[in-house]
């Protein structure tokens, strides 16, 4: 269209030039009539095209320059319209009604027949609408209708027809407002209808000339040129016209030739530009590929999106370019300009994109560097964490060793005394217990001459009648932890029948939470601690329950009620064990309760009315613990025997016979054998007589070496049981006296000093590992905080706390002699004036460790004395040492 306009403008200017050269006066501009002229010209154009296309219809020709009324009147039947449409688009109106009434023309110019009128026009409008062309209302063909819409529709059809004729290349476009040539400038030409061209240079020849010059130029425009020419020549003399026309033609042909040359040139440029654009695009793609190949991780999604968007936009633009190329024949100038602009735009876009890629690359490199730095720092941090973790593991390991050393130094054999309360209804009963303090029990007795006398026995601890189950357990709790560290522990309940052994080990018949005995509490504690350590060590805990009756071992957890006799075996792998006894894995305290119920049931099955099996047999609950260190893979094995011994009362041989006698003999034998073993161990005897009884045989691995033995000696307070009480205490004395010797340490000995130094340096080393200045020994903050947080440390006691001695002093009942007696005890173990140092380990302990260190009280300082004793005498590797 632009080309068309350009050409028209050129033709117009040529006319003007020619007219000026000829001295012709310029046409006047009639601005007021411009509008009507414009619509008239459009109408003429439409009419001209209709005439040329369909010729004479129904014997009536449409005037070449019809008035508005003539135009509408001519088209009202719809025949011309339908015919012209069928020519443009064959078959669009399959049946054009050309009725007999055609010739009947009413005087008012109305429709020939209503049928024709509506049918043809309707079919035409429908077809036009389907083609997407602008249409009009049927009423527009009536008087007062909008003829401009009809004209517009016809011109659109004309434009479409021409587009089609030219091959239908590109997209058909039609602008309803396009003006006929000559109206793009401020001049218009009017012509009187009556005026005719009376020359050889007829209207027709000029029209055909114009139309010959450019096929692509709309015929309507050519018609306008004709009008222009006619208007220009209207006032010329006849003889002037050939000359004017000739010069016009010359000018026109010149103009057209130059136009064609430009057109060709532009097409060349366009093709070149398109090639460049395509090459530029592929270059940018190659560049992006190269970038990728270089390994530059331009992965910023936004940049990729941009590139992606741009590629697709370039692709679409490229397509458009090709479209333009196809349309180039129609509108070369405009297309070329557009293409130029487009190519420039694309170049700019590509440049911009390259910049963007560059900056993204830089950003990515910076980011990469930052990440690398972060990863490096993280690695360093991880290394230091790993070091700290392994250091922490080492500290824990050391802590475990130290802890167990402390347990060793406290004495591998500990003897506690527990006094049962009077049974209900015994309030007036005379007690054999004269006095009790923390470690001493004084029994009321009589001397040989019948005078009242007292006998004092010293233990590691004395528990009075009011002491609770929890308090009893708290004192032995640290030993439970040793089992988890791979040590063997043996806990015995010793005493005469009815003295409270079962109460201590299991609890009262009606079990309550407070009443739970050592067995439940120990296992519950094992579960608790093993659960706390689950991140570092995986534990398997299993339980066996055996009974030794008349020197026969039975399984209390067997389904047959424990009737089968079992053999004790010694294997290199498992040590001493009873392979045929049930070993039941447990993980909850409730599991243990259930198993113990089974055990008690089996034990009572074997009882008779006259013979309470529980007091006539030893029951042994054995807890086997196997722990696997998750870091090193090391295996720790420990076991704990919880033994409820048979009643220790002596049976007068003259009074009992048969089974009772046999039982008594077996009990005496086994208890005596136990005493012998413990004595031998405590005195570091070269021979330990384990094989003298099934009991000592069974417990062999858990007695001696680094194994820990704890004996609860039970006392019945009734005076009438004095004989049994004395004999029980003497047994305990036998066990404990040997340990007493070990506790006789001179506080000033050089070895003790040496030990003190060793422990101080250990503390310092641990504090350094923790990197906590507060934990360095001697730090005032540390001492303050430890003293503040651990009152037990303030309650510093003398070294006599450490003794496991019993002292028998038979003396007259007087306060003086009693004081003397106490003083005499003090000489055995010298009171310490050492200041409490606290434990540097405690800060690195877990809660569990804190609890345990608290439970063990001021253990670090206690270590100092006993360590000397044990270290100086302990053989290198003995039985009962943790098996790793």
Ligand X SMILES: Nc1ncnc2c1ncn2[C@@H]1O[C@H](COP(=O)(O)OP(=O)(O)OP(=O)(O)O)[C@@H](O)[C@H]1O
b/e map of 566-575 (b: 16 or more CB within 10 Å)?
A: bebeeeeeeb
How deeply is 526 buried, as exposed, middle or buried, from its count of CB atoms within 10 A (0-12, 13-18, 19+)? buried
Query: Reduced to 3 states, what is the DSSP secondary structure of residue 445?
Result: strand
- For residues 631 to 660, the per-residue mask of contacts with ligand X, x marking binding by CB under 6 A and - elsewhere, is ----------------x-------------
| Nearer to ligand X among residue 710 and residue 863 (C-beta) | 710
| Nearer to ligand X among residue 510 and residue 748 (C-beta) | 510
- For residues 683 to 722, the per-residue mask of contacts with ligand X, x marking binding by CB under 6 A and - elsewhere, is -------------------------------x--------
Contact range with ligand X by CB under 6 A, out of 180-188, 492-500, 519-527, 584-592: 492-500
Task: Give the DSSP H or E segment for 133.
Answer: none
Q: How many CA atoms lie within 13 A of 494 on its CB side?
A: 29
| Nearer to ligand X among residue 76 and residue 714 (C-beta) | 714
Taking CB under 6 A as the criterion, the residue among 74, 495, 627, 717 binding ligand X is 495
Report if residue 619 touches ligand X, rule: CB under 6 A.
no
Each as own residue / partner, the long-range contacts of residues 528-535 (CB below 8 Å, 24 or more positions apart, any chain) are 529/480, 529/481, 529/484, 529/848, 530/484, 530/625, 530/627, 532/846, 532/847, 532/848, 533/484, 533/627, 533/848, 535/630
Query: How far apart are alpha carbons 131 and 129 in whole angstroms?
Result: 5
| Nearer to ligand X among residue 495 and residue 840 (C-beta) | 495
Taking CB under 6 A as the criterion, the residue among 288, 412, 502, 842 binding ligand X is 502
- Is 496 annotated among the ligand-binding residues? yes
C-alpha closest to that of 603 among 646, 641, 567, 543: 646
Query: Reduced to 3 states, what is the DSSP secondary structure of residue 554?
Result: strand
Contact range with ligand X by CB under 6 A, out of 114-122, 501-509, 681-689, 847-855: 501-509
- For residues 417 to 436, the per-residue mask of contacts with ligand X, x marking binding by CB under 6 A and - elsewhere, is ---xx---------------
Question: Minimum distance from CB of 603 to ligand X (Å)?
Answer: 10
Q: Give Cβ neighbours of residue 31 (< 8 Å, ≥ 6 apart).
A: 188
- Is 575 annotated among the ligand-binding residues? no
Instruction: Scan residues 504-533 and list those touching ligand X (CB under 6 A).
Output: 508
| Nearer to ligand X among residue 499 and residue 800 (C-beta) | 499
- Is 750 annotated among the ligand-binding residues? no
Taking CB under 6 A as the criterion, the residue among 288, 334, 432, 497 binding ligand X is 497
Nearest residue (beta carbon) to ligand X: 500
Question: Minimum distance from CB of 422 to ligand X (Å)?
Answer: 9
Question: Minimum distance from CB of 501 to ligand X (Å)?
Answer: 4
Question: In Å, how far from its chain's centre is CA 103?
Answer: 92
Question: Minimum distance from CB of 418 to ligand X (Å)?
Answer: 7
The count of residues interacting with ligand X (CB under 6 A) is: 16
Report if residue 870 touches ligand X, rule: CB under 6 A.
no
Quickly list DSSP for 245-314: HHHHHHHHHHHHHHHHHHHHHHHHHHHHHHHHHHHHHHHHHHHHHHHHHTT-----HHHHHHHHHHHHHH
Question: Minimum distance from CB of 878 to ligand X (Å)?
Answer: 32
C-alpha closest to that of 692 among 675, 712, 707: 675
Taking CB under 6 A as the criterion, the residue among 123, 213, 558, 615 binding ligand X is 615
Task: Give the DSSP H or E segment for 636.
Answer: strand 635-644
Report if residue 499 touches ligand X, rule: CB under 6 A.
yes
- Is 497 annotated among the ligand-binding residues? yes
Residue reference for tokens 């030039």: 17
Instruction: Scan residues 278-297 and list those touching ligand X (CB under 6 A).
Output: none
- Is 8 annotated among the ligand-binding residues? no
Taking CB under 6 A as the criterion, the residue among 478, 500, 704, 882 binding ligand X is 500
Report if residue 579 touches ligand X, rule: CB under 6 A.
no
Question: Minimum distance from CB of 787 to ligand X (Å)?
Answer: 35
Query: How far apart are alpha carbons 866 and 859 in whole angstroms?
Result: 11
Question: Do 675 and 494 form a contact (C-beta atoms < 8 A)?
Answer: no
Q: Determine the straight-line distance between the first and last CA of the chain, rounded to whole angstroms.
A: 101
| Nearer to ligand X among residue 461 and residue 714 (C-beta) | 714
- Is 778 annotated among the ligand-binding residues? no
Measure Cα distances from 260 to 251, 269, 331, 556 in Å.
14, 14, 12, 120
Report if residue 614 touches ligand X, rule: CB under 6 A.
yes
The strand pair at 635-644 and 537-549 is best described as unpaired
Contact set with ligand X (CB under 6 A): 420-421, 495, 497-503, 508, 612, 614-615, 647, 714
Q: Which residues are annotated as part of the binding site for ATP?
A: 495-502
């Amino acid at each position: 269209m632009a080309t068309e306009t350009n050409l028209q403008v050129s033709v117009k200017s040529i006319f003007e030039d020619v007219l000026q050269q000829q001295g012709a006066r310029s046409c006047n501009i009639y601005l007021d009539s411009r509008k009507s002229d414009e619509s008239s010209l459009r109408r003429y154009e439409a009419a001209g095209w209709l005439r040329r296309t369909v010729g004479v219809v129904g014997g009536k020709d449409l005037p070449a320059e019809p008035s508005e009324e003539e135009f509408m009147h001519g088209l009202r039947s719809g025949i011309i319209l339908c015919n012209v449409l069928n020519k443009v688009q064959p078959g669009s109106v399959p049946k054009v009604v050309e009725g007999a009434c055609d010739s009947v023309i009413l005087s008012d110019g109305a429709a020939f027949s209503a049928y024709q009128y509506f049918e043809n026009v309707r079919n035409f409008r429908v077809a036009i609408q389907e083609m997407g062309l602008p249409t009009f209302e049927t009423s527009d063909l009536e008087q007062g209708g909008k003829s401009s819409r009809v004209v517009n529709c016809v011109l659109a059809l004309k434009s479409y027809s021409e587009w089609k004729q030219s091959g239908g290349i590109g997209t058909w476009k039609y602008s309803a407002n396009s003006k006929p040539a000559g109206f793009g400038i401020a001049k218009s030409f009017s012509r009187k209808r009556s005026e005719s061209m009376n020359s050889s240079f007829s209207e027709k020849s000029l029209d055909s000339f114009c139309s010959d010059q450019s096929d692509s130029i709309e015929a309507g425009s050519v018609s306008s040129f004709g009008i222009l020419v006619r208007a220009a020549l209207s006032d010329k003399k006849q003889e002037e016209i050939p000359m004017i026309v000739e010069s016009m033609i010359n000018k026109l042909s010149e103009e057209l030739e130059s136009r064609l040359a430009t057109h060709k040139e532009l097409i060349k440029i366009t093709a070149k530009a398109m090639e460049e654009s395509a090459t530029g695009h592929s270059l940018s793609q190659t560049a992006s590929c190269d970038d990728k190949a270089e390994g530059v991780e331009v992965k910023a999604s936004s940049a990729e999106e941009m590139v992606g968007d741009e590629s697709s936009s370039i692709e679409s633009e490229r397509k458009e370019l090709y479209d333009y190329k196809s349309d180039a024949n129609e509108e070369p100038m405009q297309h070329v300009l557009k293409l130029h602009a487009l190519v420039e735009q694309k170049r700019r876009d590509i440049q911009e994109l390259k910049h963007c890629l560059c900056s993204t690359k830089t950003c990515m490199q910076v980011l990469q560097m930052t990440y690398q730095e972060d990863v490096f720092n993280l690695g360093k941090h991880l290394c230091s964490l790993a070091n700290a973790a392994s250091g922490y593991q080492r500290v824990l390991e050391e802590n475990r060793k130290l802890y167990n050393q402390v347990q060793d130094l406290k004495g591998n054999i500990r003897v506690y005394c527990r006094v049962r309360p009077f049974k209900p209804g015994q309030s007036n009963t005379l007690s054999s217990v004269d006095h009790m303090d923390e470690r001493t029990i004084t029994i009321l007795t009589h001397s040989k001459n019948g005078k009242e006398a007292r006998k004092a026995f010293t233990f590691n601890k004395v528990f009075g009648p009011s002491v609770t189950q929890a308090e009893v357990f708290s004192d032995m709790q640290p030993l439970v932890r040793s089992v988890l560290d791979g040590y063997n522990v043996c806990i015995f309940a010793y005493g005469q029948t009815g003295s409270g052994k079962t109460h201590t080990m299991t609890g009262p018949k009606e079990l309550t939470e407070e009443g739970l005995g050592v067995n439940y509490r120990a296992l519950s504690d094992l579960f608790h601690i093993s659960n706390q350590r689950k991140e570092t060590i995986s534990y398997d805990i299993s339980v066996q329950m055996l009974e030794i009756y008349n020197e026969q071992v039975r399984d209390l957890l067997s389904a047959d009620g424990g009737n089968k006799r079992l053999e004790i075996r010694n294997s290199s792998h498992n040590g001493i064990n009873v392979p045929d006894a049930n070993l039941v894995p447990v993980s909850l305290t409730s599991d243990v309760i259930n198993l113990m119920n089974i055990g008690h049931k089996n034990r009572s099955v074997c009882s008779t009315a006259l013979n309470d099996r529980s007091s006539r047999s030893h029951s042994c609950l054995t807890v086997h613990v196997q722990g696997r260190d998750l870091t090193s893979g090391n295996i720790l094995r420990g076991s704990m025997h919880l033994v409820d011994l048979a009643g220790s009362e002596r049976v007068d041989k003259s009074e009992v016979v048969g089974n009772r006698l046999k039982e008594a003999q077996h009990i005496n034998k086994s208890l005596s054998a136990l005493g012998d073993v413990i004595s031998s161990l405590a005195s570091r005897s070269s021979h330990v007589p384990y094989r003298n009884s099934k009991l000592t045989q069974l417990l062999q691995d858990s007695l001696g070496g680094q194994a820990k033995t704890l004996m609860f000696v039970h006392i019945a307070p009734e005076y009438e049981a004095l004989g049994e009480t004395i004999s029980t205490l003497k047994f305990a004395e036998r066990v404990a006296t040997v340990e007493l010797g070990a506790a006789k340490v001179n506080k000033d000995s050089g070895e003790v000093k040496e030990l003190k130094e060793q422990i101080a340096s250990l503390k310092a080393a641990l504090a350094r590992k923790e990197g906590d200045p507060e934990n360095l020994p001697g730090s005032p903050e540390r001492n303050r905080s430890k003293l503040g947080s651990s009152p037990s440390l303030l309650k510093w006691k003398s070294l006599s706390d450490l003794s496991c001695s019993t002292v028998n002093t038979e003396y007259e009942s007087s306060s003086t002699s009693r004081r003397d007696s106490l003083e005499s005890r003090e000489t055995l173990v010298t009171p310490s004036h050492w200041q409490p140092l606290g434990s540097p380990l405690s800060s690195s302990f877990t809660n569990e460790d804190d609890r345990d260190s608290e439970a063990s009280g001021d253990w670090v300082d206690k270590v100092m004395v006993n360590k000397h004793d044990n270290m100086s005498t302990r053989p290198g590797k003995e039985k009962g040492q943790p098996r790793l």
